[in-house]
Structure 1
């Protein structure tokens, strides 16, 4: 009995010491959510100069329809180009879930079609679509995004007569 108690105490002590001296980096879920909120704000207000503060230099964005851009400059170009087509583009986060180094948002995007888009000249139509994105955060910055826009809904709204 005495040996069992001693073994349990030694095991408990080892577990306690290992948990205290862990090299695991703590993940700040609130900070991860905040950086993603800022990214959505930049899509909404077009202030692409702010991307330097929230995107990792090796940022990569993958969209389900095969569109991909890399780096901060790629993101700046993509946002600026998109806002020329939809100058009043707004993204409103509807749901946000975070765990570990990932943040997922479902958001409502709205904008008025004022420029050529996928072969369709400006229609002046106000569109609303829902999108989902998954973000990977590294050292407080967005390193990767996977985007899933409702492209079919967008196309249907722009071609309605």
Structure 2
């Protein structure tokens, strides 16, 4: 009787200890949201050297208009190029949803076109568009992004007379 009581008690203690420990594959939704917030901040401030902290070397970005770039250098180039055209580019997160390894943001992007963009010379027009992006996070870094900018609204604002 004493042996089975001790065995039962040990089993309960082991179950308690195991249930208190964190699972190695447990996803930290707050950390995932923070890394995505940092990515939007870098688009807004242009500090591309900080990308290495939040982007995986295997990063792939897919945009709806068939634009794609890869890796940290691809992200640096994309952000730097875009900010040459829209030097005051800002991204403000409006909505954020996360589940599992995915984070989705809907955000308002603003900027003044001071460089050539898609065949249009600099207009000096300040634009506002809404975008949605889906991010996949692994090991605390963004590994994939699917971007859906409102390209039609952007083009309409830049070509209005």
Fold equivalence (TM over 0.5): yes
Equivalent residue number for residue 129 of structure 2: 129
Q: 1:116 Cα shift?
A: 0.4
Q: 1:22 Cα shift?
A: 9.3
Q: 1:24 Cα shift?
A: 5.8
The normalised TM-score by structure 1 is 0.87
Equivalent residue number for residue 53 of structure 1: 53
Q: Deviations over 1:98-130 (max 9, x none)?
A: 000000000000000000000000000000000
Structure 2: where are the runs of 5+ without partners?
A: 1-11
The normalised TM-score by structure 2 is 0.87
Number of aligned positions between the proteins: 146
Secondary structure, counterpart of 1:65 in structure 2: coil
Q: 1:53 Cα shift?
A: 0.2
In structure 1, how many angstroms separate the alpha carbons of the residues matched to 2:62 and 2:25? Answer: 27
In structure 2, how many angstroms separate the alpha carbons of the residues matched to 1:54 and 1:29? Answer: 15
In structure 2, how many angstroms separate the alpha carbons of the residues matched to 1:98 and 1:24? Answer: 19
Equivalent residue number for residue 8 of structure 2: none
In structure 1, how many angstroms separate the alpha carbons of the residues matched to 2:111 and 2:147? Answer: 18
Distance change >3 Å, CA 25–CA 122, structure 1 → 2: same
| Runs of at least 4 residues off by over 6 Å | none
Equivalent residues in 2 for 1:7-156 (5 A)?
20=19, 25-156=25-156
Q: Deviations over 1:3-48 (max 9, x none)?
A: xxxxxxxxxx9xx79x859966010000000000000000000000
In structure 1, how many angstroms separate the alpha carbons of the residues matched to 2:48 and 2:63? Answer: 19
In structure 2, how many angstroms separate the alpha carbons of the residues matched to 1:23 and 1:108? Answer: 36
